Amino acid sequence: MITNKATLTDRSVAKPPAAANHYVLEWIEEQVEQCQPDRVVWCDGSDAERERLLAQGVEEGVFIRLNQEKLPGCYYHRSNSNDVARTEHLTFICTPHDDMSGPTNNWMDDKDAYAKLGKLFAGCMKGRTMYVVPFVMGPIGSPLAKVGVQLTDSLYVAVNMGIMTRMGDVAWKELGESDEFTRCLHSIGELDPERRYICHFPLDNTIWSFGSGYGGNALLGKKCLSLRIASFLGMQQGWMAEHMMLMGIETPSGEKTYITGAFPSACGKTNFAMLVPPKKYRDEGWKITTVGDDIVWMWVDEKSGRLRAINPETGYFGVAPGTNDKSNPNAMASISKNTIYTNVALLPDGDVWWEGKTKQPPAEAIDWKGDPWTPDKGTPAAHPNSRFTAPMENNPVLDPKVHDPNGVEVSGILFGGRRSNVIPLVYQAFNWIHGVYIGATLGSETTAAATGKTGVVRRDPMAMLPFIGYNACDYLRHWFRMRKQMKDCPRMFAVNWFRKDEDGNFIWPGFSENMRVLKWVVDRCRGRAYAIESPLGWTPRLDDFDLEGLDDFTPEDFKRLQSPNPEDVKREMLSQEELFLKLAGDLPKEIVFQRELLISRL
């Protein structure tokens, strides 16, 4: 297999694990021949290995050891300034024909992609170490658990994969003698944006990523496997991989309800997943628990006919700016130890800071580029997309069923974007098909920081547009097909925390007060709350919604939130044309019918 070159065994620091089957060993040997690393290190996922890799990273300058009294077990990483976010324009779905990729993805012929990236990978790890990272996405023993093996020359990636996945020897046991594992090949290359590609081969269950060390491009178990590849596998195998949070709501009587929800970026998905109820609700005995903050895999239980869900990840790869003790106290607790901070600001005492962490900025810091920073410098101290990677076990409200292979039963699904008008605070879909229409037309307004323009509505079906691993029209059809498997499907809702008044102020207080919306949602899922019919869906009456204790929010405010102007709704429908035109010719007929029904109701 390898001729006139050192073999895999010769290059390995230790012998390959006995549990690694011959399919794995053959594939790794092929990639060793292609990439030609000096050494191969087999990761076992142990605590001792983590400490060893972190110490090595400090010695090599990959990590900076933070103040261990303030942040025990925490380290800092600074990435290349040209490599700080996902590169959507360089992310490809690689298939024999472009119709499999669809109109919303970048497509590359799979043979061309292998040839193009093969030249980049050839000899790319000379003088470097290849880390073999075996991992499992999903609880061990779950019907949806998937095994992947990532080969990477990034020490940062190896350590982070240990946080975000069930990494190590457990993967070999889960895989057994099977050939069904995702082949993940990654190299940071020269970090040259002109030589950067993130390629997915759904028909081969393979991911090749070159030229980036950023999490979304390099932690291949996350968006690449758990959404793009998994969404394709789910379509083939009859389950769903979604860009959603998953939370549990426990009533004072002990009744537990699980809700999942899709929110585009900058809409507070992580904050919502870790919501702290207002004091009034806490005193009554309400509790919120977090199953997951970003990705959910769902399937229909054959016995009950109900939808069940798992969180495939084991950590949080969250955005730091804006995270603080008010917006998300549970996230702040989660990142207090054993966390990797990336591209935040470094303080003189070995602590970290980012915009929004405290009301007052520090007097001085080292910014995310490594330069001295003071508040009057005029540039952010932390990159706007700076991150933390934290083990989910740190979360003080982690749900006890997070490792249950049987997952949790889903009673409700939320779709929420950032909309300053039109969309009410909350309403319920009439049925599953109507709910899919709501999710398919989900939109969120851009911010000046992102695009230079404000208020531009960007359509993001199910908050999945960048992550659908195949044709988006087939993806929507799959949502309709899933309904046919269910005896009792979850109730579906639209929510919007971001409505503004004429002066540009948010009408709804948000944050912990979103618990009031959740209470109505749970009561509707349980069949004990009233609603009235509107053109958009079922909406809560004033009598059905708890406003007690909201001194600055009046019944008139509630009525204004729940009663959009019909002319605004009509303009909203016209703005959906952009999405429909993009999917034109292949749009599922159910979407067209739901649009016509809404027009008739208006």
Cα distance between residue 310 and residue 302, in whole Å? 16
Helix axes of 432-440 and 589-601: crossing angle, nearest 10 degrees: 90
Burial 461-479 (b: 16+ CB within 10 A, else e): bbbbbbbbbbbbbbbbbbb
Strands 197-201 and 206-210, bridge-based pairing: antiparallel
Reported confidence tier of residue 455, pLDDT bands at 50, 70, 90: low
Least confident span in 112-126, 447-461, 519-533, 541-555 = 447-461
Cα distance between residue 602 and residue 591, in whole Å? 17
Q: What pLDDT is attached to residue 3?
A: 40
What superfamily would CATH give domain 316-394? Phosphoenolpyruvate Carboxykinase, domain 2 (2.170.8.10)
Q: What is the pLDDT of residues 202-235, one digit of tens each?
A: 999 999 999 999 999 999 999 999 999 999 999 9
Q: What pLDDT is attached to residue 215?
A: 93
State yes or no: 243 annotated in a binding site. Answer: yes
State yes or no: 49 annotated in a binding site. Answer: no
Q: State the distance between the two ends of the chain, measured CA to CA, in whole angstroms.
A: 67
Top-confidence range, 240-254, 259-273, 439-453:
240-254
Check whether 456 has a pLDDT greater than 90.
no
Q: What pLDDT is attached to residue 222?
A: 96
170 within 8 A of 45, measured Cβ to Cβ = yes
Look at phi and psi of residue 339 and say left if phi exceeds 0, alpha if psi is from -120 to 50, else beta.
beta
State yes or no: 513 annotated in a binding site. Answer: yes
Reported confidence tier of residue 453, pLDDT bands at 50, 70, 90: low
> What does the domain layout of the chain look like in residue ranges?
8-60+90-238, 242-315+399-601, 316-394
Q: What is the pLDDT of residues 319-328, one digit of tens each?
A: 999 999 999 9
Look at residues 44, 24, 297, 236 and name the one whose alpha carbon lies nearest to residue 147: 24
State yes or no: 192 annotated in a binding site. Answer: no
- What CATH number labels 242-315+399-601? 3.90.228.20
State yes or no: 386 annotated in a binding site. Answer: yes
445 within 8 A of 420, measured Cβ to Cβ = yes
Look at residues 297, 161, 194 and name the one whose alpha carbon lies nearest to residue 241: 297
Residues near 154 by Cβ (< 8 Å), separated by ≥ 6? Answer: 131, 186, 187, 188, 213, 218
Check whether 424 has a pLDDT greater than 50.
yes
> Hey, which CATH number is domain 8-60+90-238, 3.40.50.720, 3.40.47.10, 3.40.1280.10, 3.40.449.10?
3.40.449.10
Strands 307-310 and 315-319, bridge-based pairing: unpaired
Burial label for 431, CB within 10 Å (0-12, 13-18, 19+), is middle
Q: What pLDDT is attached to residue 9?
A: 76
Cα distance between residue 501 and residue 507, in whole Å? 6
State yes or no: 452 annotated in a binding site. Answer: no
Q: What pLDDT is attached to residue 402?
A: 98
Q: What pLDDT is attached to residue 577?
A: 82
Check whether 451 has a pLDDT greater than 70.
no
Q: Which two tokens stand for residue 39?
A: 């050494």
Look at residues 567, 507, 517, 519 and name the one whose alpha carbon lies nearest to residue 415: 517
Q: What pLDDT is attached to residue 119?
A: 98
Q: Which two tokens stand for residue 306?
A: 């109900």
Query: Mind telling me the catalytic residues?
Result: 267
State yes or no: 268 annotated in a binding site. Answer: yes
